[in-house]
Amino acid sequence: MENSKNIFNENPKSSLAKVLDIISTMASKPSGFIGLAILIFHVTLAITSPWFAPYDYKAINPTLMLNAPSSEFWFGTDSLGRDVFTRTILGGRTALTITFFGSIIALLWGGLLGIFCGLVGGRIDDIVMRIVDAFLSIPWILAMLLIVSLLGTTTEVLIPALGFFYGKGIVRVARAATHDVIAKDFIVSAKARGHSNLSIIWNEILPNVRDAILVEGAMRWSWMLLGFSSLSFLGFGVSPPTPDWGLMISNARGLMSFAWWAVIAPIVGLSSLIIGINLTADAFAKALGIDRSTKAPV
Amino acid sequence: MNTNIQEIKDLSIGFKSQKGEQISILRNITTNIRKGETVGIVGESGSGKSTLALAMMGYIKQGLFTTGGECFFKSLDLLKLNNKELVEIRGRKIAMIPQNAGQALTPNLKIGYQIEEALKLHTDFNKVEREQKSSELLNKVRLPSPKIMALRYPHELSGGQQQRVAVAMALAGNPELLLLDEPTTGLDVTTQAHVLELLKDIAKDTGKSMVYVSHDLGAIAQVCDRVIVMYAGEIVLEGPVRKILKEPIHPYTYGLLKSIPKLSLSGLPDSMPGSQPQPGNIRSGCSFYDRCNFSDDECKVKVPELKYLPEIDTSVRCFNHSELTSKTNEQKITSDSKKEITIDEILDLKDVSISYAKQGIIDQFLNKVTDTNPTVKDINININKGETIALVGESGSGKSTILKSIAGLLKTKDGYIKFDKEKLLSGDLKKRSSEDLRSIQLIFQNPDESLNPNHTVEQILSQPLKLYFGLTGSKLKSSIAELLEKVRLGAFYMSRYPRQLSGGEKQRIAVARAFAARPDIILCDEVTSALDVSVQAAVLDLLQKLKEELGTTYVFVSHDLAVVKAISDRVAVLYQGRLCEIGPSKDVYQFPSHPYTEVLIGAVLEPDPDVKPKLVAEDIVEEKPPEIGCSFQGRCPRILGEKCRQEVPPWQIGENGNAIRCHINIEELKIQQS
């Protein structure tokens, strides 16, 4: 009732206007604003940091080992004498890129498979879902370690591998969202008209489940970021000397008691990015009218 | 002594829009409920009738607030009480009976427990007394064997029984005022008639006041002493039920009554143009001005006051009501415009039976027939080109099931469906040719569900056009515009989303989508059940006009016998998935007819307090059709005995051309029923 008047005066909007609308709704709440600000800050930093990084990230200088923060080295130096500030602002680049593309892969295969299973149902659905369940029961980190040690830690391996392991959850969300609309008469109507499954997925189902899947994908992104950093921490993510938060934490953790600065900077970088993504995803969900607090999708 | 139990004075309720404007839902409502009377509140959806009923028990929905006025229960202003004081009144003084009892009852608590809970809350009885009282209450609402009933869970009861339990719970606190919000909407016709009978008797026996909110003038006519007609948040007419329904002196009520299909009339009812203004869109002048046939310039600028006419004890909000009094009694005689149907078969259902039972893998392997008693059995119907055939029956009669199997959404177990004399229609949708699929289109009951909420009207209508005719670009656009024109909507609707349309407009889009395929047959599944009466009349009229224009054949499924009578050429009456009677619609509604048809026709509620429904059979709901014998044996008021239980009755052709499946000789039936 509240919106009835606005709805009747509403004019059709271009898709760009719709996106801007959603973003302005997200930013209208403090939590959404903070989340968006952190996310935008991180993304801009990752894109622009190579141009203003004060030092060479791989320049080893034994005379500058473990210097405390100073006006010369803002965040101090690490055990090899490298500038922690330089390495911190550069450290999110690889993680962000790999997990971003990983999430897109996860979204694509997870979303499409989930919708397909929800649509066709029956035996195919049963079989696919049991396979997904079986994969869900494997500790992902062990499986990742196995893949990485067999195929190497290149980007070409990491992106699809992460995309695969984080897409399993999206399959379930997409399938549940599809089940919500599948019983509606407009799907029955499309079936009775004789549309192909692909056409029904694309035209009828996707517009109705898109929002739920996108929100889930955004949440998966933050999880994947944490997962990727864990891999780096264990030495299976980015290979040195490429700066990476997980790797930095791993290298400096033994010296934490007297060189806290070398650990604190990457930790703040990683956790602020994850918090930023989480807050943004929540605000995104609310802006789209999906309330994650009352309705768990899985 | 003051005889008013409730007095509402100048009550206005509204909400604040996002722009901060104040938008009213109820405007200046002033009325009284007297002790011991039953008052009906009628109006279309969005007229504010439920908001008014809720305000009567001091409840204002979240987001709404009173902008003025008072609502007195005896001497208490309900709207000024705090929650604690309201708890004392609700249940003990004022009780509410909800629309959907199935949802109002807790699914995992036994009926007896739920009633005792209500007693515990609203009375001071001890445990033994409560148990006794709860069986007493169940007895009062005429539920058979209350002791056994008390041990059941809500899902083990039928819709009518659930509604009775809700009535019993409302009576638990022995309230003085009962509020009923659409208590019989969604029930089957026969059940509805029985529940209304019960409510009427309760009102008479206990002397309680009742407020009965409904859109159904037929139900109002049966139970109410006085009627309040609401339109766009205002009372437009208020008075004794006979005056209101027989000589309405407000143009809206007049139009509303005209738009209801009645068994006593043939042909389509008149439709009212336009739709009710949305809250916030109400302009100056009379809110009914746009749709009124009696309006003049004064109505456009001046808001009419609710004027009390003591000579007929009626209040009316209209400047020109005196004009109407003289015109009302002219009954327009609609000529039967239905043309003779030439016998040119387009669809042939032969021995069709459909089963929902799934065969297990092992049974499939052994080729075992597991279901000897399918949901739908032995359906033989021939449908001719250009006719409208209606399938009628209560819920569970298999009418929608048959429709789905014609559309190819359900496989038939036995028998076949032949299209256009020679083409056998496959039970598997995927095996049907695109041409066959195009020829048969479906329109669904609820346009909210049948239109994709994320598509614009243009996208919705382009689906069939692209699929069947491969239209693109400007050709597609002009075809869509043409379709919109055909369903009396303009081309500017193209960019709108379903949520921006009213119920009637949405259903028109659904109709347009079906016609986009240029089909030979359109299957209509309860297409007007979700619509308001005035909108229903307009949609029926549209369907009739399109049919005359394009020669389409309709298979029309409905539970509403009056609607069916208005639109159909032939009627097939179904009970438990078996055909009972089939014939030309004017003959099916005449005697002699199958006992089930007789029961159905008897239960139809006319918007006339002097026409009472005839309750001939018990309103039992049968879970499954009987294995042997007549399908209606369980409820038949004219059952002969063993014969009906053992043998499937033969078809008999009546003098009017309707075929009846009954053991009773047709001449005998005629004598019994006259």
DSSP string, A138-207: S-HHHHHHHHHHHH-S-HHHHHHHHHHHHHHHHHHHHHHHHHHHHTSHHHHHHHHHT--HHHIIIIIIHH
pLDDT in tens, B289-345: 878 877 788 888 888 888 888 888 888 888 887 777 655 444 454 545 555 566 778
Which pLDDT value is given to residue B39? 92
Q: How far is A239 from chain B (nearest CA, A)?
A: 46
Q: Are residues B429 and A194, on separate chains, in Cβ contact within 8 Å? A: yes
The span from the CA of B549 to the CA of B422, in Å, is 26
B668 is written with which tokens? 């005998």
A283 — pLDDT class (breaks 50, 70, 90):
confident
Q: Are residues B442 and A189, on separate chains, in Cβ contact within 8 Å? A: yes
The span from the CA of A74 to the CA of A63, in Å, is 17
Which of B18, B449, B455 has the CB atom closest to A185's CB atom? B449
Q: Are residues A5 and B463, on separate chains, in Cβ contact within 8 Å? A: no
Task: Return all residues near B530 (Cβ < 8 A) that are at least 6 apart.
Answer: B445, B446, B447, B448, B503, B507
pLDDT reading at A6 higher than 50: no
Which of B407, B434, B468 has the CB atom closest to A192's CB atom? B407
pLDDT reading at B282 higher than 90: no
Q: Does residue B650 form part of some domain? A: no
Chain A positions touching B279 (Cβ under 8 A) are: 1, 4-5
Q: Does residue B255 form part of some domain? A: yes
Q: Are strands B209-214 and B177-181 parallel, antiparallel or unpaired?
A: parallel
- How much of chain B, in percent, has pLDDT values that exceed 90? 9
- Sorted by where each starts, the structural domains of chain A and their CATH numbers stand as 16-288 (1.10.3720.10)
Q: Are residues A3 and B18, on separate chains, in Cβ contact within 8 Å? A: yes
Query: Which DSSP letter does residue B590 get?
Result: S
What is chain A's Cα-based Rg? 23
By CA distance, what is A204's nearest residue in B?
B452
Number of domains chain B is built from: 2
Which pLDDT value is given to residue A296? 42
What are the backbone angles phi and psi of residue B19, rounded to the nearest 5°? -85, 0
The span from the CA of B83 to the CA of A172, in Å, is 44
B30 is written with which tokens? 């002033």
B146 — pLDDT class (breaks 50, 70, 90):
confident
Query: Which DSSP letter does residue B500 get?
Result: G
- 3 state SS of B158: coil
Of residues B385 and B280, which shows the higher confidence score?
Answer: B385
Which pLDDT value is given to residue B371? 64
Which pLDDT value is given to residue A8? 40
Q: Among B589, B623, B650, identify where a domain stops.
A: B589
Residue burial B531-555, b: 16+ Cβ < 10 Å; e: rest: bbbbbbbbbbbbbbebbeeeebbbb
Residue B231 pairs with which residues in a beta bridge? B234
Question: How many residues in total does chain A contain?
Answer: 298
Q: What number is the ipTM of this complex? A: 0.79
Chain A positions touching B494 (Cβ under 8 A) are: none
B360 — pLDDT class (breaks 50, 70, 90):
low
Which pLDDT value is given to residue A95? 85
What average pLDDT does range B199-213 have in this prediction?
89
What are the backbone angles phi and psi of residue B196, rounded to the nearest 5°? -60, -40
What average pLDDT does range B534-555 have in this prediction?
89
The span from the CA of B499 to the CA of B451, in Å, is 10
Range of the domain at B291: 4-93+175-328
Which pLDDT value is given to residue B40? 92
Which of B23, B409, B468 has the CB atom closest to A191's CB atom? B409
pLDDT in tens, A25-43: 888 888 888 989 998 988 8
pLDDT reading at B161 higher than 70: yes
Q: Are residues B279 and A7, on separate chains, in Cβ contact within 8 Å? A: no
Which pLDDT value is given to residue B495? 85
Q: Are residues A195 and B467, on separate chains, in Cβ contact within 8 Å? A: yes
Lowest mean pLDDT among B237-241, B249-253, B357-361, B581-585: B357-361
Chain A positions touching B456 (Cβ under 8 A) are: 12
Q: Are residues B467 and A203, on separate chains, in Cβ contact within 8 Å? A: no
Q: Which of A8, A21, A185, A205 best probes binding to B when mutated, by most B CB atoms within 10 angstroms?
A: A185
Q: Among B272, B307, B328, identify where a domain stops.
A: B328
Q: Are residues A12 and B409, on separate chains, in Cβ contact within 8 Å? A: no
Chain B positions touching A1 (Cβ under 8 A) are: 15, 25, 63, 279
Compute how many other C-beta atoms are within 10 angstroms of the C-beta atom of residue B398: 25
pLDDT in tens, B515-524: 999 999 999 9
Which of A6, A189, A195 has the CB atom closest to B18's CB atom? A6
Q: Are residues A1 and B279, on separate chains, in Cβ contact within 8 Å? A: yes
What is the amino acid identity at position A277? Answer: I
Chain A positions touching B500 (Cβ under 8 A) are: 7-8, 10
Lowest mean pLDDT among A167-181, A193-207, B126-140, B346-360: B346-360
Lowest mean pLDDT among A205-214, B196-205, B611-620: B611-620
Q: Is residue B406 less than 8 Å (CB to CB) from chain A?
A: no
Taking phi over 0 as left and psi of -120 to 50 as alpha, with beta for the rest, B551 belongs to left
What is the amino acid identity at position B644? Answer: C
Which pLDDT value is given to residue B513? 93
pLDDT in tens, B565-600: 888 889 999 988 888 899 888 888 887 788 888 888
CA-based torsion, B103, B109, B111, B116: positive or negative = negative
pLDDT reading at B149 higher than 90: no
Q: Are residues B63 and A185, on separate chains, in Cβ contact within 8 Å? A: no
Q: Does residue B53 form part of some domain? A: yes
By CA distance, what is B456's nearest residue in A?
A12
What is the amino acid identity at position A140? Answer: W
What average pLDDT does range A88-96 have in this prediction?
84
| Mean pLDDT taken over chain B | 84
Q: Are residues A204 and B452, on separate chains, in Cβ contact within 8 Å? A: yes
- Of the candidates B313, B288, B286, the one whose C-alpha atom is nearest the C-alpha of residue B300 is B286
Q: Are residues A185 and B280, on separate chains, in Cβ contact within 8 Å? A: no
Which of B23, B453, B500 has the CB atom closest to A8's CB atom? B500
Which pLDDT value is given to residue B228? 92
Q: Are residues A208 and B454, on separate chains, in Cβ contact within 8 Å? A: yes
Using CB atoms and an 8 Å cut-off, which of residues 339-398 of chain B contact chain A? Answer: none
Q: Are residues B500 and A190, on separate chains, in Cβ contact within 8 Å? A: no
A1 — pLDDT class (breaks 50, 70, 90):
very low
How remote is the C-alpha of A124 from its chain's centroid? 29
DSSP string, A89-154: HHHHHHHHHHHHHHHHHHHHHHHHHHHHHHHH-HHHHHHHHHHHHHHHTS-HHHHHHHHHHHH-S-
Q: How far is B463 from chain A (nearest CA, A)?
A: 8
Chain B positions touching A194 (Cβ under 8 A) are: 429, 432, 434, 437-438, 467
Residue B22 pairs with which residues in a beta bridge? B16
Lowest mean pLDDT among A48-52, B275-279, B580-584: B275-279
A103 — pLDDT class (breaks 50, 70, 90):
very high
Q: Is residue B263 less than 8 Å (CB to CB) from chain A?
A: no
The span from the CA of B550 to the CA of B388, in Å, is 13
> SS3 letters for A43-85?
HHHHHHHHHHCCCCCCCCCHHHCCCCCCCCCCCCECCCCCEHH
Which pLDDT value is given to residue B4? 84
Q: Among B264, B296, B328, identify where a domain stops.
A: B328
Q: Does residue B77 form part of some domain? A: yes
Q: Are residues B409 and A10, on separate chains, in Cβ contact within 8 Å? A: no
Which of A3, A12, A193 has the CB atom closest to B456's CB atom? A12
Which of A8, A184, A195 has the CB atom closest to B278's CB atom? A8
User: HSE (CB half, 13 Å, CA atoms) of B472?
Assistant: 1
Query: Which DSSP letter does residue B302 get?
Result: S
Chain A positions touching B17 (Cβ under 8 A) are: 2, 5-6
Using CB atoms and an 8 Å cut-off, which of residues 6-65 of chain B contact chain A? Answer: 15, 17-19, 23, 25, 63
Q: Are residues A208 and B452, on separate chains, in Cβ contact within 8 Å? A: yes
Q: Are residues A7 and B450, on separate chains, in Cβ contact within 8 Å? A: no
Using CA atoms, how far residue B130 sits from B112, B158, B549, in Å, is 10, 25, 65
What average pLDDT does range B529-539 have in this prediction?
85
Which of A186, A189, A194 has the CB atom closest to B432's CB atom? A194
Which of B17, B455, B517 has the CB atom closest to A5's CB atom? B17
pLDDT in tens, B65-119: 888 888 888 888 888 888 888 888 888 889 988 877 778 888 888 888 999 988 8
pLDDT reading at B431 higher than 90: no
Q: Is residue B425 less than 8 Å (CB to CB) from chain A?
A: no
Domain CATH code at residue B54: 3.40.50.300
By CA distance, what is B513's nearest residue in A?
A189
pLDDT reading at B418 higher than 90: no
Q: Does residue B223 form part of some domain? A: yes
User: Cβ(B244)–Cβ(B227) under 8 Å?
Assistant: yes
Which pLDDT value is given to residue B182? 86
Q: Does residue B67 form part of some domain? A: yes
- 3 state SS of B570: strand
User: Cβ(B53)–Cβ(B183) under 8 Å?
Assistant: no
Lowest mean pLDDT among A51-55, A58-62, B582-586: A58-62
Residue B213 pairs with which residues in a beta bridge? B41, B181
Q: Does residue B352 form part of some domain? A: no
What is chain B's Cα-based Rg? 27
Q: Does residue B245 form part of some domain? A: yes
User: Cβ(B29)–Cβ(B49) under 8 Å?
Assistant: no
Chain B positions touching A188 (Cβ under 8 A) are: 409, 442, 444, 450
What average pLDDT does range B378-390 have in this prediction?
89
The span from the CA of B471 to the CA of A8, in Å, is 30
